[in-house]
A and B are shown apart, each in its own frame.
Chain A
Amino acid sequence: MTAVALQLLHLLLMLAVAPALTGLVRKVKALLLGRRGAPVLQPYRDIARLLRKEAIVADSASWLFRVAPYLVFTAVWLGVSLVPAFSLDLLLAPTADLIALVALLGGARFFTALAGLDVGTSFGGIGTSRELMIASLAEPAMLMVIFTVSLLVGTTALAHIAGTLLVHPVGLRVSLGLGLVAITMVAIAENARVPVDNPATHLELTMVHEAMILEYSGRHLALMEGAAMLKLLLYLSLIACMFTPWAMAPPGAGPREIGIGLVAWLGKMAAGGVLLALFETSIAKMRVFRVSEFLAAALLLGLLAVIFLYVSKGL
């Protein structure tokens, strides 16, 4: 029963927190650049405004274009609800392990990419083609991180990874450090952040994610934007769950522990958002064809993490 309640709380909490996280990142970035910036709650207003507007659909669009936002949003929402945040007791947690989670996000990307091609414009195509390149390099790097963690813990089920690391801390390990760097690079690429992509741009030569969803408007755009916000929350939550599982409530915990876990998780997310903003303001966006080198570095770091783990275990 508590698992059901916690799962429902988790689902709604994710939906409630995601826009605030994006708003926080934007606010901190603005402050760092010496601007005042929009309030943290601005993304809620944006989404509410978009939801109320009528949706304009291009003449050449098919049913896929109209279905894709719902599928993408739902897949990402389901994905984020499978990542333990403040409690390890989740009803849906056995649905997907880390690999299935990555594949679920891959499904969301598959439909976003198809939606980019559906209208038959050049900008949609440019976004799709670049997204495919970035994704195909980010996924192997992600798998290497999964490999490292599964070697340490012996499972790819997220709740068990966090649970094991919570009870038996493995201490500081070189492999985990390398893995953390690798997954951060993957997260930056997957969430279309600087230096891989710029979420604030509408300059055609630099867009990737924004180009794919260029033709969307109204409620469809609101869902696509919402999915992007949820995805950012998902990756931050995932990193927190795998590398800093502190203060998460174990299964069967009382309300006090769950409360502590909740506060700790909110703190982690806020810290992650501030760090992301710091990183984004301190680095310049790179050319599209430098992205492959960036992600190849992530892949090599992941491989190194596995090899270091072998070496350290063997000795």
Chain B
Amino acid sequence: MSLLLTVAAAGGLLAAGLIGLAGNRRPEVQRLVYILSIAAMGVVVWAAFSYLLWPPADADATLVLPIGLPSLQPGSPLETHFRLDALSAYFLLVLGLLGSAVGLFAIGYGRHEREPARVLTFYPVFLAGMILVLVADDAFAFLVAWEFMSLSSWFLVLAGHRAEETRRAAYVYLLMAGVGTMALLLAFGLLAGVAGDYSFAAIRAGHLANLSTALVVVLALVGAGSKAGLMPLHAWLPLAHPAAPSHVSALMSGAMTKVALYAIIRILFDLVGPIGWWVGVIVVAIGAASAFMGVLYGLFQRDLKTLLAYSTIENVGIIAVGLGLALMFRANGLAALAALALTAALLHALNHALLKGLLFCGAGAVLDATGLRDIERLGALIHRMPVTATTFLVGAAGLAALPPLNGFVSEWLTFQAILTGPQLPQWELKFGVVVVGALLALTAALAAALFVRAFGIVFLGRPRSAAAAGAVDAGPSMRAALILLAATCVLLGVMPLPAVGLIDPVSRQIIGHSLPGLGAANLLWFVPLPGSYTSYSGLVILVAVAGIAVVVMLLVHGFASNRVRRAPAWDCGFPDPRPQTQYSADSLAQPLRRVFGTSLFRARERVDMPAPGDRRAARLEVRLRDLIWECLYLPVADGLAWFTGRINVLQFLTIRRYLTMMFVALALLLTVVAITQ
């Protein structure tokens, strides 16, 4: 039943795309498309919830559609398989929760779209693609749905196609999506083996040689990892995610990266079968590198949405660390610890989806109100946009991993999993896990710095431009979506256990073990591993901090003083009314740029200070280099350009030469056949 509902929701979304195409000029059609998408997402949430809470008796039921890929075996029918299991259901829940809130936001946000057809047609198709990836049960359905997701999101990125950098972003995205899909295609080809049965059930039953397993792992990490934004294949993400309309950015960063992580989990935990701990090492290493580098890149960005996109890379990295740890623990037979690491990763996936959706919607509200994404020209929006500012603060604090918010719970669980790392038998893993822990702690602290910078510069201080000074708060549907998302984040932080309970079926499915602390848990105290006595309670922290703060305020106001006088800022006696005298975003990041950027980004500063009496302005020039782009992407692009330039000659040959080439090729092939026979 759940599966049927889900597939029907996807079908409904495809139909909504057609409606959007047909009547895109009329505002009521725009509203209709978004309302339809909210309804479809609601159905998906319900289906996923009911599946996870009350697993049906026919849990293995699949849905077979009579269209599809002809099998290599003669006589087998054309079929497409869909199936819902706990893993799919959990990710459907993540997608559905975010998708419905974003749809609500889009009702207000989409009204200002200049070319609505470019968004309305592809927005529902994008959602449908993601749903179908999650329920696909054969490689053919999976890849077709994957391409639906990739291409519709590419069209959405191109919605603002008049800007030059948007076209460049879309171009890079299309290239990377192509490479990713090709890698996945090859991975599934290897998984299906010579028998050529592409259904997941057959793949699961098959056995792979060691070399093929290694290749599948690498190809899956390239294919799905590039979509998730794992380093070093992340380069498209901070270009493409910010270029899309903000509600689409929210879905791409919040949901599409999670669908990609689902693909990684599906292949590495489920389809390839038992694999060695070395796979976990690769995943953890990539994840830790993505987390650390992602947040560092984000710290030095000026564009609000680009900064959020880099933070997505960071959080995907944290999730990957959890997944890699789960693989290591599982390969060593430590099922309880594997369940802990997996729970941490999956909970962070949900939390990050909601938090990043909230922040991208907040950035969209700022963009809508001011037309600006450059944080150096914003400021003081907390006075003019109180709802957006407050909800953005919740999201920022959540991703900075501050208790009692939800982002903290999952990072705390990840740290607990890391602290159990020394129980691994391999010495190299024991040492490696410690380094990963230090790196993640550094990442968490830098993330806090990133969000102090983002929130402080955009919403606090004095306005840095006329647009920022004249901003008005978002419209009712946008405000409602922001409040809804922020409230969900607080709720999940204060009561993480219901969410952990929803992860439990997934953990039992792919690890074969529950989180040990789940049985003894109550709503107040969260004890992941009962043997270690380590516990946390977001509810107590929230109640204690809020309660004590109110008591302190009442006491101070009642017994000491409650007089307030407004006055000009003190600023050590030299206040300057010009907003340029505030700290800017670049100067705020300067100490961290000195510490980390000098080596990792080859940051160089040049100060041009005119001599006394010279009246020209002083100049400070800061140059950062993206070494990953320069050392990995540019050489590959240059090499390809060189190679294609060379073989381009082949298109302008005489017929005699073509015939000669064909003859030589034929002779070569015959020789090869003769040798191998």
Residues of A participating in the B interface, judged by any CB pair closer than 8 Å: 51-60, 62-64, 66, 70-71, 73-75, 77-78, 92, 94-97, 99-100, 103-104, 106-107, 109-110, 113-114, 117-126, 128-130, 132-133, 135-140, 142-144, 146-147, 150-151, 154-157, 160, 202, 204, 214-215, 217-219, 222-223, 288-289, 292, 299, 302-303, 306-307, 310
**Contact across chains for A97 and B565 when beta carbons are under 8 A apart:** no
Q: Given known contacts A120-B579, A215-B570, is B595 in contact with A94 (CB within 8 Å)? A: no
Complex contacts, B575 vs chain A, CB 8 Å: 121
Q: Does B491 count as interface, using CB distance less than 8 angstroms?
A: no
Docked pose: A57 CA to B403 CA in angstroms: 28
Q: Given known contacts A59-B567, A94-B535, A100-B536, is B452 in contact with A128 (CB within 8 Å)? A: yes
**Contact across chains for B534 and A156 when beta carbons are under 8 A apart:** yes
**Contact across chains for B560 and A95 when beta carbons are under 8 A apart:** no
**Contact across chains for A58 and B570 when beta carbons are under 8 A apart:** yes
Q: Given known contacts A114-B456, A155-B533, is B437 in contact with A147 (CB within 8 Å)? A: yes
**Contact across chains for B560 and A75 when beta carbons are under 8 A apart:** no
Nearest Cβ in chain A — how far from B411, in angstroms? 8
- Give 8 closest A-B pairs by Cβ, nearest first: A125-B583, A120-B461, A117-B456, A54-B563, A133-B591, A51-B560, A143-B441, A120-B462
Pull 29 A–B residue pairs with CB atoms less than 8 Å apart, ordered by A. Answer: A51-B560, A51-B561, A54-B564, A55-B565, A60-B380, A63-B382, A64-B382, A95-B540, A97-B536, A99-B416, A103-B402, A104-B541, A110-B452, A114-B456, A117-B452, A117-B461, A118-B456, A121-B581, A125-B588, A128-B588, A136-B448, A139-B442, A139-B445, A155-B533, A160-B533, A218-B563, A292-B594, A303-B434, A303-B435
**Contact across chains for B461 and A132 when beta carbons are under 8 A apart:** no
**Contact across chains for A129 and B589 when beta carbons are under 8 A apart:** yes
Q: Given known contacts A96-B536, A120-B462, A132-B449, is B569 in contact with A113 (CB within 8 Å)? A: no
User: Which of B445, B452, B569 is close to A120, meaning CB atoms less than 8 Å apart?
Assistant: B569
Specify the main secondary structure of chain B where it touches its partner. Answer: helix
Interface centre among B545, B566, B576 (most CB of A within 10 A): B545
Question: Using a Cβ cutoff of 8 Å, how many contacts connect chains A and B?
Answer: 265
User: Which of B400, B531, B582, B592 is close to A125, meaning CB atoms less than 8 Å apart?
Assistant: B582
Specify the main secondary structure of chain A where it touches its partner. Answer: helix
**Contact across chains for A143 and B438 when beta carbons are under 8 A apart:** yes
Docked pose: A146 CA to B565 CA in angstroms: 45
Interface centre among A92, A120, A122, A288 (most CB of B within 10 A): A120
Complex contacts, B531 vs chain A, CB 8 Å: 154
Q: Given known contacts A55-B564, A126-B583, is B402 in contact with A92 (CB within 8 Å)? A: no
Docked pose: A109 CA to B448 CA in angstroms: 9
Complex contacts, B570 vs chain A, CB 8 Å: 56, 58, 121, 214-215, 217
Nearest Cβ in chain A — how far from B674, in angstroms? 60
Q: Given known contacts A60-B569, A95-B536, is B437 in contact with A143 (CB within 8 Å)? A: yes
Which of B264-272, B362-370, B546-554 lies on the face that meets chain A?
B546-554
**Contact across chains for B461 and A122 when beta carbons are under 8 A apart:** no
Complex contacts, B566 vs chain A, CB 8 Å: 56-59
Q: Given known contacts A78-B548, A218-B561, is B448 in contact with A106 (CB within 8 Å)? A: yes
